[in-house]
Amino acid sequence: MIREIDYMQRIWGVRYFWLHLTSAELRTKYRRSMIGPMWSIIQPLAMTMLLAFVMGKLMGVPIGDYALYIFSGVVVWEYMTGSVNTGCKCLYTAAPYIKQFAHPVLIYPLRYSLAGLVNLMLASVGLIGWALVVHPENLNISWLFIPMAMVMFFLIAWPLASLCAVIATYFYDFTQLVGILMQIVYYVSPVFLKASMFEKAGIGYLLEWNPVYHLLQLLRAPLLAGEFPSLFNIGFVLATAMLLWLMTFITLRRVEQKIIFYL
């Protein structure tokens, strides 16, 4: 435990470096763009409208409410998949830095996790505005949990990206494999399919033990139902985060000093 605390202190000690990398990532993404950060809202919104129209017609549900449900799922899912995808290649991208500086390797997936979090918060501005228009009656004290939800998303995304970064460095094919795995998780999670559909089909167990479902509930419960997430939702997400961090530190203990030889 002491070793892990020292490691995190080392990361904090080079905070100006990884904050600069994060800022550079955001500037690069929106360079020469006419609307810049607005793409963080427009991109998931476009996907939402397409899914809401098609799925709403197929299932015969009101498109307005269903679109908000899908939007809340898409913005979180894009953050998680973005963290995984950029995590897989972040150490290769940062190879010149790694070969010159003995900084903790966790700062390189941190760069993309933080940049993704900024995009998620920007998209959430559109999501909150939409929720206020569609369900103004849900505005209450439970919405104060939304910033905490963002923190918990980050606590999942950073170690997840870090694990993917280390594994992809040793096993290049992992990048393709994780893409397949994420597609599977997408279709067994209520990102755009209603949770009630899983229960009616007799596969509700796919939700009960699915971290993605509990992550989505952190945002959907306040915005869509006007209530705090359940203690089980919060506990499950925190337990998942602790497990991911444990796996990350165990992995780093074994391989961090050898990573440079695989870049």
Amino acid at 63: I
pLDDT confidence tier of residue 213, bands split at 50, 70 and 90: very high
Q: How far apart are the first and last CA of the chain?
A: 29
Mean pLDDT over all residues of the chain? 86
pLDDT-wise least confident of 2-16, 40-54, 200-214, 246-260? 40-54
Cβ contact 145:229 at 8 Å: yes
What pLDDT digit, counting tens, does each position of 153-202 carry?
999 999 999 999 999 988 888 888 998 999 899 888 888 888 888 888 78
Give the span between the Cα atoms of 34 and 218, in whole angstroms: 33
User: Using one digit for the tens of pLDDT, what is the confidence trace for 54-84?
Assistant: 776 666 666 777 888 888 899 999 999 999 9
Report CA dihedral (136, 51, 215, 87) to the nearest 10 degrees. -130
Per-residue pLDDT tens digits for 6-49? 888 889 988 899 889 888 888 887 776 666 667 667 777 777 77
**42's torsion region: left (phi>0), alpha (psi -120 to 50) or beta?**
alpha
- Give the percent of the chain with pLDDT over 70: 93
